[in-house]
Amino acid sequence: MAPKRSGASASSAPLPPLSIDSTALLSDAISFSGTYSITIGANSVLHPRCKLNSTEGPIVIGSNCIISERTQLIAPDIDGLVLGNYVHVEVNCHIQAARIGDATSIEVGTKLGKGSCIGDNCTLSPLSTIFDVDVLPAYTVVYGENHRRMDNSATAVARNETMLAHIDCLKKLLLNKAEKYTR
Partner 1 sequence: MSSFPYIHISCPCNEDRPQTLTIDSARPISPSKSPSKYNFNFPPDAPGSPTKKRTLLAGFNPSVSFDSGNLGLDLDDDDELTDEDDENNFDPRNPRSAFSLFPIENLLYCEDCHQIRCPRCVQDEIVCWYCPSCLFEVPSSTVKSDGNRCTRNCYLCPVCTALLAVIPVNPSSGHPNAHSDHPAGPFNLFCSHCHWTTSDLSPPIQLEKPTSISAQLSKLTPSSRDAEFIRLKQHYAQQLGNAQEDFTNSPAALTRLMGLYTGLGSGTGGHGGGRKGRGVKKLEMKEVDRPREINEEQELEIVERMAIEGLDATTNARQRLSQPHEPRFLSELTPTAVLLRTKRSKRCRACRHILVKPESKVQTTRFRIRLVALNYIPSLTIKRLDSSITWNNLVPHKTHRFLLTVTNPLFDPISVSLLTPRKTPGTAFASKVTILCPEFEVGANTDVWDDALMSTKPAAPASSGISTPPVAGSFTSFSKDPKMSTVYEQKRNYTSVVIEVVPPEIPDTRETRIRDERLLEIPIYVRVEFEAEVDRDDEEGGGGKPSHSGASGGAVQRERVEYSYWCVVGVGRVGDPVEGVVASEPNTPVRTPVGTPVKAPRTPAAMRTPLRQVRS
The site for partner 1 (CB under 8 A) is made up of 123, 125, 141, 143-144, 147, 149, 151-155, 157-158, 161, 165
Distance CA 148, CA 139 (A): 10
> In the bound complex, what is the minimum distance in angstroms from residue 147's beta carbon to partner 1?
8
Angle subtended at Cα 156 by Cα 64 and Cα 97, rounded to the nearest 5 degrees: 60
CB nearer to partner 1: pick between 36 and 143 = 143
Pick 112 or 122: Cβ nearer partner 1: 122
How far apart CA 173 and CA 109 sit, in angstroms, is 23
Q: What are phi and psi of 59, to 5 degrees?
A: -120, 130
Toward partner 1, which CB reaches closer, 72 or 129?
129
Using DSSP bridges, classify how beta strands 111-112 and 135-136 pair: parallel, antiparallel or unpaired.
Answer: unpaired
In whole angstroms, the minimum distance from the beta carbon of 163 to partner 1 comes to 13
In the complex, minimum distance from the CB of residue 152 to partner 1, in angstroms, rounded to a whole number: 5
